[in-house]
């Protein structure tokens, strides 16, 4: 059981209710992360603290499995049970209960000391998303202070073992047959008492480290794609694995191309005479120009398919390229209009496409 979850209200940290959707949680996180990012609030300890808080909250609530576990733990923590002489105890006491029993039989409480999972947003160009690109993202990470090696004391040595808990970080109290443990209030569960605080981290044991991390974006990603970089998140404690970095991809729109999955669509204008007589045009795709034959009598709105010239996602089939024709009527000169009138008067246009005019 993660006891931190019992004390931390992640929903309140992100300013959402328990029934919030994934999109609402993500939107609130982005807003708060931008407002409290350390790069935008230099020397603001409160903003830095808030940034850590919302990052931790989002890392849990954005993961469906972790969110379910968190809700279950919080629900259990709010419940009370009566018994054993009428004295109430909460469900989180069960963790201490079975932890102490486990110690009797030689089992140890395996704490999850893996590094924190971080999240960041990355905006890339349309072509970069389609073709793939190698770029970098800037991340502000909380790491253990090098000046004190993470224990918060001056040079890492200005501390002594807590006399209250004898360095265990926990104290036990007997409740009849059972023994219940809780964090030592004297050393706040650390097992050691700091005599002189580290001048670098002011006794916190951590510091903020700004890092640019290379990211290889595969071809075919789109807005909403999340890439997980293993081991590039928060620093693990006591040799535990580092956390992961989640990169949320956002793709800029293209000036001309429209995307539907791996397929691309391009609106191409042609003249009235090109549509009437037919022509061959050059069409730009993502990688090259291709020739497309336009048959005579092509109507406006006609769509032609060029197979395999769309986006080629890594490891999957290439999409297709669709060319949608639009007929553009230019400003004709007086002489040209006369010619068109003669063309019309001789009946070369045929019947009106609006049949009701001939009824």
Beta-carbon contacts of 266 under 8 Å, excluding residues fewer than 6 positions away, are 256, 257, 258, 283, 284, 321, 322, 323, 324
Residue 93 has what pLDDT? 41
Beta-carbon contacts of 200 under 8 Å, excluding residues fewer than 6 positions away, are 145, 146, 147, 148, 207
Measured CA angle at 124 (ends 120, 129), to 5 deg:
115
Residue 81 has what pLDDT? 38
Q: Delineate the domains of the chain, giving CATH numbers in brackets.
A: 258-350 (2.60.260.20)
Residue 124 has what pLDDT? 95
Residue 111 has what pLDDT? 42
In DSSP terms, 121 is beta-bridged to: 248
- For the chain, what's the residue count? 359
What parts of the chain have a pLDDT lower than 70? 1-4, 39, 76-112, 173-180, 238, 348-359
Residue 41 has what pLDDT? 76
Give how far Cα 327 sits from Cα of 118, 189, 342, Å.
51, 76, 21
Residue 270 has what pLDDT? 94
Helical ranges in 38-139 per DSSP H: 45-61, 64-77, 93-104, 126-131
Q: Which of 279, 276, 268, 284 is nearest to 324 (CA)?
A: 268
Residue 97 has what pLDDT? 40
């Amino acid at each position: 059981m993660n006891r931190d979850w019992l004390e931390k209200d992640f929903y309140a940290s992100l300013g959402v209710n328990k029934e919030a959707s994934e999109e609402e949680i993500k939107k609130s996180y982005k807003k708060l992360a931008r407002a409290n990012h350390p790069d935008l609030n230099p020397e603001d300890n409160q903003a830095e603290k808030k940034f850590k808080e919302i990052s931790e909250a989002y890392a849990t609530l954005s993961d469906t499995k972790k969110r379910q576990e968190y809700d279950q733990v919080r629900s259990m923590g709010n419940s009370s049970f009566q018994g054993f002489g009428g004295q109430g105890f909460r469900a989180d006491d069960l963790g201490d209960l079975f932890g102490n029993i486990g110690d009797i039989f030689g089992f140890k409480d395996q704490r999850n000391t893996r590094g924190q999972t971080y999240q960041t947003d990355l905006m890339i160009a349309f072509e970069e998303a389609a073709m793939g690109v190698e770029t970098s993202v800037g991340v502000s990470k909380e790491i253990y202070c090098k000046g004190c090696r993470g224990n918060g004391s001056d040079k890492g040595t200005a501390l002594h073992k807590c006399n209250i808990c004898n360095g265990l970080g926990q104290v036990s109290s007997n409740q009849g047959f059972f023994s219940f443990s809780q964090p030592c209030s004297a050393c706040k569960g650390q097992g050691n008492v700091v005599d002189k605080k580290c001048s670098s981290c002011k006794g916190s044991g951590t510091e903020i480290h700004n890092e640019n991390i290379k990211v290889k974006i595969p071809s075919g990603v789109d807005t909403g794609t999340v890439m997980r970089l293993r081991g590039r998140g928060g620093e693990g404690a006591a040799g535990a694995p580092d956390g992961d970095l989640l990169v949320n991809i956002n793709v800029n729109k293209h000036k001309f191309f429209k995307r539907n999955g791996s397929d691309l669509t391009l609106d191409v204008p042609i003249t009235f005479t090109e549509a009437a007589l037919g022509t061959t045009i050059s069409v730009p795709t993502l990688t090259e120009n291709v020739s497309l034959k336009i048959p005579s009598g092509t109507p406006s709105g006609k769509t032609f398919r060029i197979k395999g010239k769309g986006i080629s996602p890594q490891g999957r089939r290439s999409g297709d390229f669709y060319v949608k024709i639009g007929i553009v009527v230019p400003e004709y000169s007086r002489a040209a209009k006369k010619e068109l009138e003669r063309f019309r008067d001789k009946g070369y246009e045929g019947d009106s496409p609006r049949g009701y005019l001939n009824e």
